[in-house]
Structure 1
Amino acid sequence: MSKSTSQVKHILLIDDDKEFAELLTEYLACENIKVTACLDGASGLAKAFDDCFDLILLDVMMPVLNGFEVLKALGGNHKIPILMLTARGDDNDKILGLELGADDYLAKPFKHRELLARINAIFRRIAIVKNQNTTAINEPTEQLIINQVRINQATREIFCQNKLLELTGTEYLVLVYMLKHHGKILSKAEISEQVLQRKLSPYDRTVDVHVGNVRRKLLAIDPIDKIKTVRGAGYVFLQGEQ
């Protein structure tokens, strides 16, 4: 396996399985990815506030603080993407993790190549955001305002009725994509491929939960729902009064 010539990425792994952490560190080093491992939730949480990481891999079942408690402590509006590692593919664990602010999840046991594919999908997402920010800085007057929701891509901020929305990185990308395609039905498969950078899997509720989180945060500011669910088809961000 050859090393990539691209810039080294840095991952924070929070998992109490020491053998797994050592194996993963060795495997990802071959992919030009550095791993800093913490073997309990408390030490992992302390590290998670550092700005030096590109991604956090967070296990659910851990001593001191479990993965859900770490997510709650981070507050659900973090900018570093979080990939949850859930035991036995428990759907309740997956949904709860996403609702608490995780960006994606992967059920144990998994193959290293499968984890690498998820990691690379998240890195592609990060690259999209950086490209959008560069474009916005070069064109600072370009702002999109739809149905009282305003994007400032130069600062990577979204406002509803001039109040700042506290979003995770993935929620930000989901809402930006919906705003840019307002009035159009967007299928879950399209949102997954264009925003999550991976194909939608059967029974995968990741898109549903992210859209639900965005809708809930919008409704907390404006009680008029801006996102319509089209049963069997997807979601529409409503244009509002013209």
Structure 2
Amino acid sequence: MSLHHILVVDDNKEIRDLLGRFLRMHDFKVTAARDGYEMRECLRNGPIDLLVLDLMLPGDDGLKLCRELRSTSAVPIIMLTAMGEETDRIVGLEMGADDYVAKPFNPRELLARIKAVLRRTTMPGDQFDPPNSGGRILRFADWQLDLVRRELRSPDGALVELTTGEYDLLLAFVENPQRVLTRDQLLDITRSRAASAFDRTIDVQVSRLRRKVETDAEQSMIKTVRGAGYVFAATVERL
């Protein structure tokens, strides 16, 4: 089995070297880049399974690079942000990052986040398809979610790119239709980590997902339940 290839983009040489050594010890292939220019060169040279992307970079910053990547790729991205900068984390998620880790960080925490994101990205479809549960395609409002290929297709058959976080969130909704899910429940289902009292990541991901699957504002599938959370109002059938 080939090693997962991680690209670390950080202008701090000590962090690049530290993460390179640490991740290689845990059986990852690691490439390092100092800035957006080197990042683009690395991406041209071969496939990358996940990016660890620092927010504060010389030249194009992490937010701009994240937005650029999301225009052409669904490669998982974990952003490194300054401690306490909630606004930066929220904007990063709005740009399409899958997760974030605040500096200074424990390498083991980052390793756990990397493994969690890669698990969600590469998880076989049959783990979401228990025995006797029917087919592996879920249909709602003429949309189709393929659990094997982890693909979403619009009513006209077009493939819709989803980040890891967006896919996990949509899966949580379609597996629990007509049920109110609190933000804490959604964080548990999609991120497997505790949320702080001010963690708005689910709200950000819901907003991004709505923009992709709701073409008619008057026919909202993901409804906000004031003071409770969200409910997926569409009827879901398993093909």
Question: Same fold per TM (> 0.5)?
Answer: yes
Q: Aligned in 2, Cα 1:238/1:52: closer, same or farther, shift over 3 Å? A: same
Which residue does the alignment assign to 1:3?
none
What pairs up with 1:196-207 in 2 under 5 angstroms? 196-207=191-202
Q: CA deviation at 1:148?
A: 3.1
Checking the alignment, whether the CA contact within 8 Å between 1:76 and 1:167 is kept in structure 2 is no
Q: CA deviation at 1:9?
A: 2.4
Q: CA deviation at 1:132?
A: 4.1
1:69 to 2:64 alignment = yes
Q: CA deviation at 1:154?
A: 4.0
Q: Aligned in 2, Cα 1:212/1:132: closer, same or farther, shift over 3 Å? A: farther
Q: How far apart in 2 are the matches of 1:55 and 1:14? A: 11
Checking the alignment, whether the CA contact within 8 Å between 1:133 and 1:156 is kept in structure 2 is no
Q: CA deviation at 1:45?
A: 3.0
Q: Aligned in 2, Cα 1:64/1:157: closer, same or farther, shift over 3 Å? A: same
1:152 to 2:116 alignment = no
What pairs up with 1:221-232 in 2 under 5 angstroms? 221-223=215-217, 224-232=219-227
Residues paired across the two proteins, number: 233
Q: Aligned in 2, Cα 1:228/1:49: closer, same or farther, shift over 3 Å? A: farther
Aligned partner of residue 29 in structure 2, secondary structure: strand
Which residue does the alignment assign to 2:51?
56
Which residue does the alignment assign to 1:187?
182
Checking the alignment, whether the CA contact within 8 Å between 1:14 and 1:40 is kept in structure 2 is yes
Q: How far apart in 1 are the matches of 2:143 and 2:86? A: 32
Please report the TM-score for the alignment, with normalisation by the length of structure 1.
0.84
Q: How far apart in 2 are the matches of 1:142 and 1:191? A: 22
Which residue does the alignment assign to 1:233?
228
Please report the TM-score for the alignment, with normalisation by the length of structure 2.
0.85
Q: Aligned in 2, Cα 1:202/1:45: closer, same or farther, shift over 3 Å? A: farther
Which residue does the alignment assign to 2:17?
22
Stretches of 4+ moved more than 6 A in 1? 133-136
Q: CA deviation at 1:133?
A: 8.7
Checking the alignment, whether the CA contact within 8 Å between 2:174 and 2:236 is kept in structure 1 is no
Provide structure 2 residue ranges, at least 5 long, that are not aligned to the other structure. none
What's the RMSD between the two structures over aligned residues?
Answer: 2.8
Provide structure 1 residue ranges, at least 5 long, that are not aligned to the other structure. 1-5
1:11 to 2:6 alignment = yes
